[in-house]
Amino acid sequence: MNKDRILVTGGVGYIGSHTVVELQKAGYPVVIIDNLSNSNRDVLDGIERITGIRPDFVEADCTDMEALKALFAKYPDIRGIINFAASKAVGESVQKPILYYRNNLNTLMNLLDLMPTHGVKGIVFSSSCTVYGEPDVNPVTEQSPIKTATSPYGNTKQICEEIITDVIRSGAPIKSVILRYFNPVGAHPSAEIGELPNGVPQNLLPYLTQTAIGIRKELSVFGDDYNTPDGSCIRDYIDVVDLAKAHVIAVERMLTEKSESSIEIFNLGTGNGLSVLQLINAFESATGVKVPHKIVGRREGDIEKVWANPAHANNVLGWTADTPIEDTMRNAWAWQLKLRERGIM
Ligand code: UD1
């Protein structure tokens, strides 16, 4: 049976591209909309090399309602949406709040607005563990309290979750699965796609691999005086391919009426917290490559520790993040080497 077409917004980006690969492997026809603001169209070649299929691609901005209408007119068979298109740098969001609210909120509202009239049944939304702030108790479940956001970026994730809830409560004939990601890391094992940070990476793993290859002199570990076993912050690092696979299951639930309710929320993490120093160790032992690093002061706004209780996703979706961290580290390293080989960085 032919599967329904899925619209992937932001499908050229890091998590989006890995998800397009898994969707295509599962037999879903895909159309990507992306404004390429934080990505490169060469990623489409990588997706094609992995899957043998070049996804349809529309270069446009999801805040542009007319462009979205034209897209739905061109692809009347779209039945599901996965919405990755969003700005995601915490620091930048503090500097440019309007950009963040405009991009992230308008994109979602435009999609929700157009879905019913175009026969789109459901939308998967990329949320974040940032909604839990600094949790009182770890691991966090989906019932853990939502904390006041500490950045406009984090606030957009909370508001977007509320917008989806309100729209569905109003009786809109659509479903949604909200996925709260912990810290996505790694790259496709083929090294055809991976993370491509713009400028100096703010996130730990891309900074680490760029240091390992010599682009950066040394990695700064932001603080070793936290209330954790080794003093550095703890996160739940989840392999990007594991994460991508969860989206395929979520889409399938929405389209085949398996969802238990019109809105479902899942934490996507491994359930294991790793400290910054443990992650550096895991990289060094998996690859045999040393990462020069030094301890510096804390980074403002950082959470001390947060990791997931993924039981709900494990039980209900039948999904587990089971890629060993060593494999994830080797894939991230292979991708960094590939970027050098291609002369990209
Ligand atoms: C951050 C955001 C999160 C967002 C995610 C998306 C905050 C509080 N959280 O997550 O909402 O969804 O980015 O990208 O901003 N570290 C170093 N040295 C570095 C870089 C990072 O020690 O050069 C440490 C950080 O202090 C942190 C850990 O590595 O403990 C992970 O940092 P990062 O990759 O930036 O992710 P988060 O801060 O967890």
CA of 62 to the centre of ligand 1 (A): 27
pLDDT band at 127 (very low <50, low <70, confident <90, very high): very high
- What average pLDDT does the chain have? 97
User: Ligand 1 within 6 A of 111 CB?
Assistant: no
CA of 136 to the centre of ligand 1 (A): 19
Which of 2, 63, 66, 13 has its CA nearest to residue 193?
13
pLDDT of residue 257: 74
Contacts of 154-160 with CB under 8 Å at 24 or more apart are 154/90, 154/93, 154/128, 154/130, 155/101, 156/86, 156/93, 156/100, 156/101, 156/104, 156/105, 157/104, 157/127, 157/128, 157/130, 157/131, 158/131, 159/105, 160/104, 160/105, 160/108, 160/125, 160/127
pLDDT of residue 23: 98
pLDDT of residue 117: 97
pLDDT band at 345 (very low <50, low <70, confident <90, very high): confident
Asked whether residue 229 carries a pLDDT value surpassing 90, the answer given is: yes
pLDDT of residue 344: 87
Ligand 1, atom 21, residue with closest C-alpha: 204
User: Ligand 1 within 6 A of 235 CB?
Assistant: yes
Residues 104 and 83: beta-carbon distance below 8 Å? no
Residue positions annotated with a catalytic role: 153
Q: What average pLDDT score do residues 96-118 get?
A: 98
Residues 8, 12: Cα–Cα separation, whole Å? 9
pLDDT of residue 18: 98
How do beta strands 274-275 and 234-235 pair? Answer: antiparallel
Asked whether residue 44 carries a pLDDT value surpassing 80, the answer given is: yes
Q: What average pLDDT score do residues 219-242 get?
A: 98
CA of 204 to the centre of ligand 1 (A): 6
pLDDT of residue 197: 86
User: Ligand 1 within 6 A of 154 CB?
Assistant: yes
Q: Which atom of ligand 1 is nearest to the CA of 222?
A: 22
Q: Which atom of ligand 1 is nearest to the CA of 299?
A: 26
pLDDT of residue 339: 96
pLDDT band at 245 (very low <50, low <70, confident <90, very high): very high
Percentage of residues in the chain with pLDDT exceeding 70?
100
**Tokens found for residue 151:** 């950045």
Q: What average pLDDT score do residues 235-264 get?
A: 93
pLDDT band at 13 (very low <50, low <70, confident <90, very high): very high
pLDDT band at 157 (very low <50, low <70, confident <90, very high): very high
CA of 222 to the centre of ligand 1 (A): 10
Ligand 1, atom 9, residue with closest C-alpha: 130
Residues 216, 102: Cα–Cα separation, whole Å? 33
Percentage of residues in the chain with pLDDT exceeding 90?
96
Asked whether residue 153 carries a pLDDT value surpassing 80, the answer given is: yes
Ligand 1, atom 15, residue with closest C-alpha: 90
Which of 38, 19, 335, 17 has its CA nearest to residue 186?
335
